[in-house]
């Protein structure tokens, strides 16, 4: 029987079952832990959103950069601590291009403000498709033709008795006497010829046959041959036989028409066999030596027509042809030497084309079509050729290209750019330097061969 003051929960004597209170405490602990986890998750989400918002604000904030030292970047205006220049706003660039592989190893795109572009004095031009060929021009220098060069030497010892040429540069004719030389050996050979001919050594007018006509003819032929081997001309030998007297001094004659370009003979000087007395050049035909660049080699052939215009004769052209193409390329200049042959007009004032003159050689070429840019737009790195293509927003992109033949002040571009693109022509070397500096700061690998 229960009393009114005792609770009746269905258990004997109103006592709760064992473990009920423990389970209730566990439930409250679990509820508290769940609440704490929810609060922690909310706090973490709020912190993450706050961090992302701060990062966006920081990324969108204006940065300031030194024009001369791009590595100096600040979040406020000021001066460069290295050079003292006023910092300029740094262009905001998207991250997509930074994640791309650079088009040219060792070079990065460059972003410039309009003020800096104007300060550099940058100029641009458009990639154009033009008709190429028609003419190839190269510098040329006039030289005497080696076919017309002659050296007057002696084959005997003696002394120069008289000079008929006063100075270097004199014009001479074929067969003209340049000097006379006395030689005991030549005098003895002439006397032997006269004896063999049947003349007396004293110069008698009547011949005296010696041991029959056949023997006399053989001796005469041998004596004449001996004089020819000594370099005596047939004209001088015939004069000895005609006069019947040996000449004390033999004349040295010019074998060609031309000009004396070197003179080593002096009256009274002793000469020895092989000594060069005169150099005579026949300038009725001259050579012109020119050099062309490697890409133009395939368009040149022997016999190709050419025109020559000299700096000393403006407006006057001379027509010739390619006579020789060198078999090797000059490793220093990467050019190939050509030799062209031209006929030379000689008047009372001398030859029109004088050795040593310089001029321009023009060669006619077949016409083709291709993309061209101004020659100054191409940056030659030593291992490749680079153009800087202008994009919107002051962005300049380096582009590796293949260069073809040069045509006047423009260069053919075989690949790397498209028609209508804009390329930098003035200030591209400054762009190249800054592009390499930025690539080094970004950790890009250096280009091959550098």
CATH of the domain at 126: 2.40.420.20
Are both 438 and 380 inside the same structural domain? yes
Contact, 161 vs 182, CB < 8 A? yes
3-class state of residue 90 by DSSP: coil
Confidence of residue 3 (pLDDT cuts 50, 70, 90): very low
Are both 260 and 160 inside the same structural domain? yes
Are both 232 and 251 inside the same structural domain? yes
Place of tokens 């005469």: 220
> Which of 302, 290, 344 shows the shortest CA–CA distance to 137?
290
Alpha carbons within 13 A on the beta-carbon side of 273: 7
Are both 162 and 274 inside the same structural domain? yes
DSSP class per residue in 173-195: -TT-EEEEEE-HHHHHHHHHHHH
Contact, 380 vs 78, CB < 8 A? no
Are both 270 and 171 inside the same structural domain? yes
**Percentage above 90 pLDDT, the chain:** 32
Mean pLDDT along residues 57-86: 76
**DSSP collapsed to 3 states, 405-443:** EEECCEEEEEECCCCCCEEEEECHHHHHHHHHHHHHHHC
β-strand partners of 309: 317, 360
Predicted confidence at residue 77, as pLDDT, reads: 87
Within-domain flag for 87: no
The side-by-side arrangement of strands in the sheet containing 171-172 is 149-153, 276-281, 258-263, 171-172
Q: Is 0.85 surpassed by the pTM of this model?
A: no
β-strand partners of 206: none
Within-domain flag for 68: no
125 pLDDT higher than 90: yes
Give the range of the structural domain holding residue 222, as residue numbers without chain letter: 150-280
How far is 166 from 387, CA to CA, in rounded Å? 62
Are both 166 and 213 inside the same structural domain? yes
How far is 406 from 153, CA to CA, in rounded Å? 48
If one counts the domains in the chain, the total is 3
388 pLDDT higher than 90: yes
3-class state of residue 332 by DSSP: coil
CA separation (Å) from 113 to 62, 89, 102, 110, 434?
A: 14, 8, 22, 10, 14
How far is 389 from 377, CA to CA, in rounded Å? 10
Question: How many helices (H) and strands (E) are present in the chain, helices listed first?
Answer: 7, 28
206 pLDDT higher than 70: no
At 17-49, the pLDDT tens digits run: 566 667 777 677 677 766 666 656 566 554 645
Predicted confidence at residue 57, as pLDDT, reads: 44
Are both 298 and 413 inside the same structural domain? no
Please give the sequence-ordered ranges of beta strands (E in DSSP) within 145-296, or none if there are none.
149-153, 158-163, 171-172, 177-182, 249-253, 258-263, 270-271, 276-281, 285-293
Within-domain flag for 51: no
Within-domain flag for 37: no
Within-domain flag for 352: yes
At 396-412, the pLDDT tens digits run: 999 999 988 777 788 88
């Amino acid at each position: 029987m229960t009393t009114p003051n005792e609770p009746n929960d269905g258990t004997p004597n109103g006592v709760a079952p064992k473990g009920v209170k423990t389970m209730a405490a566990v439930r409250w602990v679990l509820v508290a832990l769940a609440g704490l986890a929810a609060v922690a998750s909310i706090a973490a989400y709020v912190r993450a959103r706050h961090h992302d918002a701060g990062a966006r604000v920081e990324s969108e904030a204006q940065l300031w950069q030194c024009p001369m030292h791009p590595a100096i970047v600040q979040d406020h205006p000021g001066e460069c601590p290295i050079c003292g220049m006023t910092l300029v706003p740094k262009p905001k660039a998207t991250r997509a291009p930074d994640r791309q592989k650079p088009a040219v190893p060792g070079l990065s795109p460059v972003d410039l403000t309009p003020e800096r572009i104007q300060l550099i004095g940058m100029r641009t031009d458009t990639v154009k498709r033009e008709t190429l060929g028609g003419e190839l021009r190269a510098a040329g220098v006039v030289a005497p033709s080696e076919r017309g060069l002659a050296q007057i030497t002696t084959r005997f010892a003696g002394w120069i008795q008289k000079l008929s040429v006063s100075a270097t540069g004199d014009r001479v004719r074929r067969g003209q006497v340049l000097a006379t030389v006395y030689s005991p050996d030549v005098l003895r050979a002439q006397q032997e010829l006269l004896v063999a001919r049947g003349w007396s050594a004293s110069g008698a007018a009547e011949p005296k046959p010696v041991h029959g006509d056949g023997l006399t003819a053989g001796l005469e032929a041998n004596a004449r041959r001996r004089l020819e081997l000594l370099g005596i001309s047939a004209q001088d030998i015939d004069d000895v036989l005609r006069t019947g007297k040996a000449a004390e001094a033999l004349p040295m004659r010019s074998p060609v028409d031309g000009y004396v370009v070197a003179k080593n003979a002096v009256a009274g000087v002793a000469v020895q066999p092989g000594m060069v007395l005169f150099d005579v050049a026949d300038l009725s035909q001259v050579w012109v030596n020119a050099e062309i660049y490697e890409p133009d080699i395939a368009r040149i052939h022997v016999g190709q027509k050419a025109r020559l215009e000299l700096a000393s004769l403006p407006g006057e052209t001379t027509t010739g042809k390619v006579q020789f193409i060198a078999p090797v390329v000059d490793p220093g200049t990467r050019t190939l030497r050509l030799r062209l042959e031209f006929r030379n007009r000689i008047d009372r004032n001398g030859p029109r084309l004088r050795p040593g003159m310089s001029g321009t050689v023009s060669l006619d070429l077949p016409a083709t079509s291709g993309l061209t840019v101004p020659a100054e737009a191409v940056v030659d790195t030593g291992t490749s050729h680079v153009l800087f293509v202008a994009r919107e927003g002051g962005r300049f992109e380096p582009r590796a290209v293949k260069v073809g033949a040069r045509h006047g002040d423009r260069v053919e571009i075989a690949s790397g750019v498209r028609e209508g693109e804009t390329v930098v022509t003035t200030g591209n070397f400054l762009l190249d330097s800054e592009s390499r500096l930025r690539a080094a700061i970004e950790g890009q690998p250096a280009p091959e061969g550098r």
